[in-house]
């Protein structure tokens, strides 16, 4: 059976790329006549996929042990007859009322002791053995009945895992915590040594004495406990998903994904999946974050494509409805960034429930066309234009890997945030560096620290306090072979267990690469003068360094305390170059620093006007192109490196391209263009 997801690895029957345009569809809410009208309207609009079933447990199993899948099979028959593929979901995100009635302790428990009940999503405890057993049962029934239906192009596990249930201290979770600790540490003495539990008489005699992160009279537990509990929570939800994946694979050969909303470690989440998917509502995010998310998902499972499984189909911008072309802008950026599917939430306006307002849709509850219709129609037309183009072109390989690490994110989520600052925004701080790389015009991937980094020339890794042995080995090889590593700020200052290293202030990172950190102090702000004379303001922690004769000083601290001490170093390692940054800089200075480093290392950048997205493309026969998106409501003029042809209009272009408001272009160049 062929499951045409629009990707060479997953599509087996055709050489022409089939891009998916879809919507979340809830036939369980509607009568037969409504369902038939939906199918007719989808065909008219050009919708070629639907996602179904993620909240329909009580429809599938209205009473324990009494299953009904026929209602959905009939709707899937209609979709298949209309040429509409189905993404089939496990319905475990919304457990039915009878299950909560049967197990009064089914709800997960907040650290303050409140236990959730029926009525919302993700209220049931991922660690509860009876909940898991019922999840396995309903997944098995659906997979057996519908897994080989000809409409099924993919599966989705659950829905937005950890979106609502992030921290759980139920009885079952705590029992699992103790077992997890036993597996990880084997004996309690090893845990005590790793965590340094001699502080505040925290030493334990057995694993069952180790509490979850209940509220305390003071501000926080041992930071090792907090970090490890979050790792345990991740492993718990991964095993929950893995049980469903294993069942699906027994009964269906369709590829499996999950719609992540960035609430869980997406590297680990996707290891059991066939392709990655994200929910990305653009009205809630600045453009820089959208680019960050696309850069990340393109790289999670290379060569597999990714989906935007949920986004909005309409909205307001600057006190008016979305401008004409805005939806097509996002679709262009998504498809050209490597997405092979784009799906709106929902197809039809909800008739009841807690989401009857606040979301957009293509069809009203009445069955009439909504304001989103025309915008999605433009996306449908664009999809058809892009299919032959993106059968030939794909995102160009990036020379820069921007490293993210949710393992390290755990270290920043602590109460008082390890002494940095209250309410520390780890992702915001991290993404500010990615935004800087965007601003200076570089093309980059966002790559997790567990990934293979060997194909990149430049590694940029801010906010990486724990550097694993595997990551450091990769960096040694990278530098020895002539690569560039911009390390920091805040690299290496914590161990795996969220403790301070004792072999050097920056731990194994410092020991292996042979530099010397002189001081580490908590600051509010300190003035810094960079080597080119740029005046900067540093903040948060300040690491200062003792340069060797071979080191180049990247900048120096001013002010009485650290006056004259090195803010950053540049040193040769093998054939490569290591840049070590000592603290966070203000946005303007950070941009100047990155621009200087990229220029000296020969990394090309093409600076676009703010609001313009540039997505470099390459074809199998070596042609270069740029996908260009004007997200602005004003016309823009873009300077191109050479002449070419815009494949969306079929017109030749000179080195100056005029882009109307909210327009797109796909310019194939007459000559190769690097970067």
| 521 cis-preceded (ω within 30 degrees of 0) | no
Q: Is 200 exposed, middle or buried (0-12, 13-18, 19+ CB in 10 A)?
A: exposed
Spot the catalytic one: 54, 228, 266, 310.
Answer: 310
Q: List Cα–Cα distances, 10 to 6, 47, 308, in angstroms.
A: 7, 20, 17
% of the chain beyond a pLDDT of 90? 87
Distance, in Å, from the CA atom of 288 to the CA atom of 20, rounded to the nearest integer, reads 25
Contact between 487 and 433 (Cβ < 8 Å): no
Sign of the CA dihedral running 152, 157, 158, 162? negative
Confidence of residue 620 (pLDDT cuts 50, 70, 90): very high
Residue 278 has pLDDT above 70, yes or no: yes
Confidence of residue 14 (pLDDT cuts 50, 70, 90): very low
Q: What is the CA radius of gyration of the chain?
A: 26
Residue 60 has pLDDT above 80, yes or no: yes
Distance, in Å, from the CA atom of 488 to the CA atom of 593, rounded to the nearest integer, reads 13
Smallest CA-to-CA distance from 571 within 563, 586, 562, 581 is with 581
Indicate the range of 15-24, 304-313, 443-452, 623-632 predicted with least confidence: 15-24
Sign of the CA dihedral running 283, 284, 289, 290? negative
Beta carbons within 8 Å of 231's beta carbon, 6+ residues apart: 407, 410
pLDDT average, residue stretch 104-112: 96
Map out the domains of the chain with their CATH numbers: 17-47+275-391 (3.20.20.80), 55-253 (3.20.20.80), 400-601 (3.40.50.880), 612-669 (2.60.40.1180)
| 346 cis-preceded (ω within 30 degrees of 0) | yes
Q: Each residue of 382-428: pLDDT tens digit?
A: 999 999 999 999 999 999 999 999 887 776 655 344 444 556 788 88
337 vs 417, residue with greater confidence: 337
Smallest CA-to-CA distance from 403 within 506, 311, 545, 299 is with 299
Angle at 81 between CA 75 and CA 86, to 5 degrees: 55
Q: List Cα–Cα distances, 224 to 252, 467, 475, in angstroms.
A: 41, 16, 26
| Number of DSSP helices (H) and strands (E) in the chain, helices first | 17, 29
Q: Each residue of 496-532: pLDDT tens digit?
A: 999 999 999 999 999 999 999 999 998 889 999 999 9
Q: Each residue of 21-55: pLDDT tens digit?
A: 999 999 999 999 999 999 999 999 999 999 999 99
Smallest CA-to-CA distance from 373 within 48, 51, 45, 82 is with 45
User: What pLDDT sits at residue 423?
Assistant: 61
Distance, in Å, from the CA atom of 497 to the CA atom of 624, rounded to the nearest integer, reads 46
Contact between 114 and 125 (Cβ < 8 Å): no
Distance, in Å, from the CA atom of 277 to the CA atom of 300, rounded to the nearest integer, reads 10
Give the DSSP letter of residue 345.
S
Q: Each residue of 599-618: pLDDT tens digit?
A: 999 999 999 999 999 999 99
Q: How many Å separate Cα 120 from the centre of its chain?
A: 24
Q: Which two tokens stand for residue 537?
A: 């303001």
Is 550 in the active site?
A: no
Q: Which two tokens stand for residue 297?
A: 């998902």
Distance, in Å, from the CA atom of 491 to the CA atom of 602, rounded to the nearest integer, reads 25
User: What does the DSSP assignment read for 49-118?
Assistant: EEEE-TT-HHHH-SBTTB---HHHHHHHHHHHHTT-EEEEE--TTS--HHHHHH-TT-B-B-TTSPBP-T
User: What pLDDT sits at residue 334?
Assistant: 98
pLDDT average, residue stretch 461-476: 96
pLDDT average, residue stretch 323-328: 94
User: What pLDDT sits at residue 413?
Assistant: 57
Residue 590, CB-side half-sphere exposure with 13 Å CA sphere: 25
Contact between 301 and 255 (Cβ < 8 Å): no
82 vs 561, residue with greater confidence: 82
% of the chain beyond a pLDDT of 70? 96
The backbone region for 212, taken as left when phi is positive above 0, alpha when psi lies in -120 to 50, beta otherwise, is beta
pLDDT average, residue stretch 256-270: 95
Q: How many Å separate Cα 211 from the centre of its chain?
A: 31
Is 552 in the active site?
A: no
pLDDT average, residue stretch 642-668: 97
* Number of neighbouring beta carbons within 10 Å of residue 34: 17
Residue with tokens 């820069």: 400
Q: Which two tokens stand for residue 329?
A: 């802008």
Spot the catalytic one: 61, 160, 431, 508.
Answer: 160
Mean pLDDT, the chain, whole residue set: 94
Contact between 452 and 477 (Cβ < 8 Å): no
Confidence of residue 287 (pLDDT cuts 50, 70, 90): very high
Residue 257 has pLDDT above 90, yes or no: yes
User: What pLDDT sits at residue 524?
Assistant: 87
pLDDT average, residue stretch 164-182: 96
* Number of neighbouring beta carbons within 10 Å of residue 8: 16
């Amino acid at each position: 059976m062929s499951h045409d997801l629009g990707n060479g690895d997953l599509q087996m029957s055709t050489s022409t790329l089939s891009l998916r345009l879809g919507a979340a569809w809830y036939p369980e809410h509607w009568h037969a006549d409504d369902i038939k009208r939906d199918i007719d309207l989808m065909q008219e609009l050009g919708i070629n996929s639907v996602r179904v079933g993620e909240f329909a447990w009580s429809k599938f199993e209205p009473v324990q042990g009494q299953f009904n899948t026929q209602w959905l099979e009939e709707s899937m028959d209609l979709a298949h007859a209309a040429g509409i593929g189905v993404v089939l979901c496990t319905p475990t995100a919304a457990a039915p009322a009878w299950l909560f009635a049967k197990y009064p302790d089914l709800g997960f428990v907040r650290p303050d002791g409140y236990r959730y009940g029926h009525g919302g999503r993700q209220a049931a405890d991922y660690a509860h053995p009876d909940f898991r057993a019922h999840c396995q049962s309903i997944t098995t029934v659906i997979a057996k009945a519908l897994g080989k239906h000809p409409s099924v192009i993919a599966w989705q596990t659950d829905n937005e895992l950890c979106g609502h249930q992030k921290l759980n201290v139920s009885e079952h979770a705590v029992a699992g915590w103790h077992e997890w600790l036993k597996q990880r540490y084997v004996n309690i003495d090893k845990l005590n040594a790793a965590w340094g539990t001699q502080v505040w008489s925290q030493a334990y005699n057995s694993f069952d004495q180790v509490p979850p992160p209940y509220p305390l009279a003071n501000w926080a537990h041992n930071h090792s406990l907090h970090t490890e509990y979050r790792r345990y929570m991740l492993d718990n939800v991964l095993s929950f998903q893995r049980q469903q994946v294993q069942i699906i694979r027994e009964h269906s050969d369709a590829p499996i994904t999950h719609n992540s909303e960035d609430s869980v470690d997406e590297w680990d989440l996707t290891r059991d999946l066939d392709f990655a998917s994200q929910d990305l509502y653009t009205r809630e995010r600045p453009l820089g974050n959208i680019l960050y998310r696309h850069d990340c998902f393109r790289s999670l499972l290379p060569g597999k494509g990714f989906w935007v499984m949920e986004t909005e189909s309409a909205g307001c911008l600057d006190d008016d409805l979305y401008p004409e072309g805005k939806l097509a802008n996002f679709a262009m950026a998504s498809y050209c960034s490597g997405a092979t599917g784009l799906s709106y939430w929902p197809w039809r306006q909800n008739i009841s429930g807690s989401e009857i307002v606040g979301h957009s849709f293509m069809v009203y509850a009445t069955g009439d066309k909504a304001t989103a219709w025309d915008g999605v129609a433009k996306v449908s037309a664009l999809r058809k234009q892009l299919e032959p183009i993106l059968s030939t072109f794909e995102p160009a390989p990036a020379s820069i890997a921007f490293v993210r690490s949710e393992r390290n994110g755990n270290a920043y989520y602590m109460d008082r945030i390890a002494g940095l600052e209250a309410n520390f925004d780890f992702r915001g701080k991290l993404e500010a560096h990615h935004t800087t790389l965007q601003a200076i015009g570089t093309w980059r991937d966002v790559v997790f620290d567990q990934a293979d980094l060997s194909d990149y020339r430049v590694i940029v890794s801010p906010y990486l306090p724990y550097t694993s042995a595997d990551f450091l080995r990769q960096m040694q090889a990278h530098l020895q072979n002539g690569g560039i590593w911009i390390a920091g700020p805040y690299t290496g200052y914590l161990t795996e267990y969220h403790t301070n290293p004792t072999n050097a202030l920056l731990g194994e990172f410092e020991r292996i690469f042979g530099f010397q950190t002189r001081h580490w102090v908590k600051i509010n702000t300190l003035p810094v003068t960079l080597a080119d004379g740029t005046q900067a303001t540093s903040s948060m922690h300040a690491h200062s360094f003792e340069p060797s004769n071979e080191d180049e000083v990247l900048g120096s601290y001013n002010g009485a305390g650290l006056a004259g001490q090195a803010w950053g170093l540049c040193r040769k390692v093998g054939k490569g170059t290591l840049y070590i940054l000592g603290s966070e800089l203000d946005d303007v200075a950070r941009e100047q620093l990155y621009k200087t480093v990229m220029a000296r290392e020969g990394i090309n950048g093409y600076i676009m006007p703010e609001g313009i997205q540039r997505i470099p493309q390459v074809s199998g026969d070596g042609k270069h192109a740029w996908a260009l998106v004007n997200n602005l409501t004003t016309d823009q003029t873009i300077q191109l490196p050479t002449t070419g042809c815009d494949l969306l209009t079929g017109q030749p272009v000179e080195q100056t391209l005029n882009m109307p408001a909210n327009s797109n272009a796909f310019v194939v160049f007459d000559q190769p263009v690097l970067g």
